[in-house]
Amino acid sequence: MREEENKRLTRTGPGTPAGEWMRRYWQPIALSEELDGIRPLVAPKVMGQDLVLFRDDGGRLGLVDRGCPHRGADLSLGRLEDGGLRCCFHGWLFGRDGSCLDTPAEPVGSTLASRVTLGSYPVRERNGIIWGYLGPGEPPELPALDCFRAPADRAFAWKGLLECNWLQALEVGIDPAHASYLHRFFQDDDPQDGYGKQFRAASQGTELPMTKILREYGRPDIDAVRTPYGIRITALRTLDGTDTESRPMDGSRTHVRITHQVFPHAFHIPLDAETAITQWHVPIDDTSCYWYALFTSIGGPVDRQEMRRQRVGAVTLPDYRPRYGRSNNYGYDPAEQLTSTYTGLGTDINVHDQWAVEGQGAVQDRTREHLGRSDKAIVMYRRMLGEAISAVERGDDPPLVLSPEEAARIKGPATLDGIGPTEGWHEYWAAVTAKQRADSSWAQPLETDG
């Protein structure tokens, strides 16, 4: 890739090609829990823009620029009172829509307030994530994905900070081959603590551990297909070794893992037989980003308190910064690398991914990379990204800028992590999906042909 193209795809500040493209979509701005304190206000930076997100004294959400339009004071320390956000410098009061409601230091009868506006943005809340729209015109509809349609008790939201560009953070999640190496464990135990154990449980419909499958079958057959929502990614590992279940390992069964890239910057993967993760990658600036994850259960309620407990100890608040990082070499243990894990970085796969993407540099230098066939989905996504940026430059809408009617048709999508017949694995996926959704109290039926 040429250096100019790498910059075109990765830089997202105001006025940049990728920044103008990304602003056509709703962006995760904060977790709902970040506004749970006695002062419901945070000051996020998104795509290089400094913002203030707050609930007014009526509990209504507002998203505005951080700098006061009077003389630029920092509104993140403002007072939440009188139906809005009041600047501490001269007491100017702003409503959720950016209108100036009061300029108390001005003479009685002044009309200055009527001529002042603070930049404000549409905002909405879905299943524990607060979203903002920073682009032009009316915002598009969010698609009818499972993560947005799920009842509140079937969803859990979390986030984490990465010290790298958003694109490399996304690309690790649409790369099925890396799991056989980066997330390789030398034992097949299933730890009681569920955090980070995505590749340590048994594959669906079998007692065969995912650790064994990934460890012994490191050359998956990968396919990537464009879909209305992004890309469907299939990784097939045909089983032909020794099986502790005394079932055929003669090539008649295949491990099937189906994941998705959801435009603009999310991936959608299975956690277990009932739960999927949809994870977005939102630039703070060009050298750091947040990932936001929605865990969605198609079956029973999730234990949100327990899921939070499992994760909160791995980060420092209020910025959700991982406790492991460059400063402590990501917790690397050479003895562990010899005996139990491929990396020596512990059992939390989030740390593995963090090391991989941060180690590429703040912005990966793609002029030096050499892509292989296992990078098929990454190549496809970059092509789609370039096409979408070009569409915006021409004045056209990019993919998934949706009307209400279009949004209602973007459903699911269906993931899979299971073992089925080598001949007819697609029918196996369809059958599993149909049964899951028939048994669910809320999920919609789906086609599985992409």
Instruction: Please name which of 400, 410, 364 lies closest in space to residue 168, comparing C-alpha atoms.
Output: 364
Domain ranges of the chain: 27-133, 144-439
CATH number of 27-133: 2.102.10.10
* Residue 247 confidence (pLDDT): 59
Distance CA 308, CA 418 (A): 27
Helices (H), 346-415: 349-358, 376-393, 404-408
* Helix then strand then coil, % of the chain, to nearest 5: 30, 30, 45
Tokens 């009527």, residue located: 114
For β-strands 49-55 and 61-65, DSSP reports them as antiparallel
Digitized pLDDT (tens) for each residue of the chain, 450 residues in all: 999 999 999 999 999 999 999 999 999 999 999 999 999 999 999 999 999 999 999 999 999 999 999 999 999 999 999 999 999 999 999 999 999 999 999 999 999 999 999 999 999 999 999 999 999 999 999 999 999 999 999 999 999 999 999 999 999 999 999 999 999 999 886 544 545 555 545 566 666 778 888 888 899 999 999 999 999 999 999 998 655 555 556 788 899 999 999 999 999 999 988 999 999 999 999 999 999 999 999 999 999 999 999 999 999 999 999 999 999 999 999 999 999 999 999 999 999 999 999 999 999 999 999 999 999 999 999 999 999 999 999 999 999 999 999 999 999 999 999 999 999 999 999 999 999 999 999 998 987 754
Distance CA 343, CA 323 (A): 17
- Residue 182's Cβ-count burial label (10 Å; 0-12, 13-18, 19+) is buried
3-class state of residue 313 by DSSP: coil
Longest dimension (CA), the chain: 87
Report the C-alpha dihedral over residues 372, 377, 380, 381, rounded to 10 degrees.
-120
